[in-house]
Amino acid sequence: MINYLYQEQNWQSQLSDLITDPVELLNTLQLPESLLRGANLATASFKLRVPRAFVAKMHIGNPDDPLLLQVLPHHLELEEHPEFVTDPLGEEHANQQPGVLHKYKSRFLLTLTGACAVHCRYCFRRHFPYQDNLPKQQDWLNIKQYIESQPDINEVILSGGDPLTLSNRKLAEWIERLSSIKQLKFLRIHSRVPIVIPNRVDEQLISILKNSRLRIIVVIHSNHAAELDDFTCGKLNQLVEQKIVVLNQAVLLKGVNDSAQTLIDLSYRLFDAGVMPYYLHVLDKVKGAQHFDLDSSDIEQIYKDVLANLPGYLVPKLVREIAGENNKTPLFGTTNF
């Protein structure tokens, strides 16, 4: 559970004081030095970043803690697998201009920052060239013109990186700009920050979101019920109380949440916070994440067990994103594993 120190600290302080050294992470959790060599090798190509508030939810002395496994660099990331590539979703082709990824007809994704509060080791954008794609202030008019040239677009998705690493001022600026485009009706914000730094949900952020003309949907990313302590759930519920829709998407990860009971517990815990399960993603085949992959037969059995034990409204959609497709592909009952 997050101790009082992290509950009292503001989110900016927590974001500027991340653990980035594997030695410190292992020492904090009293884990053996035998893990260090692999961690140092893997962090050379994809840096360790994890908030102390998130580390405080991990179990001391447990190298198999499901939260730790998501963030600790591992030597298996360095293995080569022909199916695991740097751009598994073909986003290079969807990158219309700086900041713009247009993959689906009615919505497009806007990457405002390459920064994240946490580096998840399975991140499908771990190789994404953010520095070449971040929109500058002068790019706004080009983005506006692009949206208006595509009349089917009615929703913008803020992603990244993580849009909630931006200051409230910058976030409000972009929301105000997007609100000025009459054809837009929805704004979706995809973020892991409320899970790893719950204090990011502050009064100013809530005010910005609830007062927008656009219908706001916040999509958080939680993979395990242990991430959702009472403090975190309380923060998420503050959004829900203001009639902001909050959904969750999870990724099915070997060693982390690859059991029906773990996913069932996650759905119930999300519901405690007023959050609805949305997607359960099959792992995107990104280079460096192959050790998290599961056999299709295991995935199907896990999902069957989830269906058998949860009411329908708490069952996330099992999906895979396939490069070039117009939507995410539902998997259960299909041959698309």
% of residues, the chain, pLDDT over 90: 78
Contacts within 8 Å (CB) and 24+ apart, 134-141: 134/98, 134/99, 135/98, 135/99, 135/100, 135/110, 135/111, 136/98, 139/97, 139/98, 139/99, 140/177
Q: How far is CA 322 from the centre of its chain?
A: 18
> According to the model, what pLDDT value does residue 93 have?
66
Q: What is the pTM of this model?
A: 0.94
Q: What is the pLDDT of residues 124-158, one digit of tens each?
A: 888 877 667 778 878 899 999 999 999 999 999 99
Distance of alpha carbon 41 from alpha carbon 215, whole angstroms = 44
Those residues of the chain that have pLDDT short of 70 are: 1-4, 91, 93-94, 96, 130-131, 333-337
Residues 89, 323 contacting (CB under 8 angstroms):
yes
CA neighbours closer than 13 Å in the CB half-sphere of residue 56: 20
> According to the model, what pLDDT value does residue 1 have?
44
> According to the model, what pLDDT value does residue 136 have?
81
> According to the model, what pLDDT value does residue 256 have?
98
Domains and CATH numbers, the chain: 4-78 (no CATH), 91-330 (3.20.20.70)
> According to the model, what pLDDT value does residue 335 have?
45
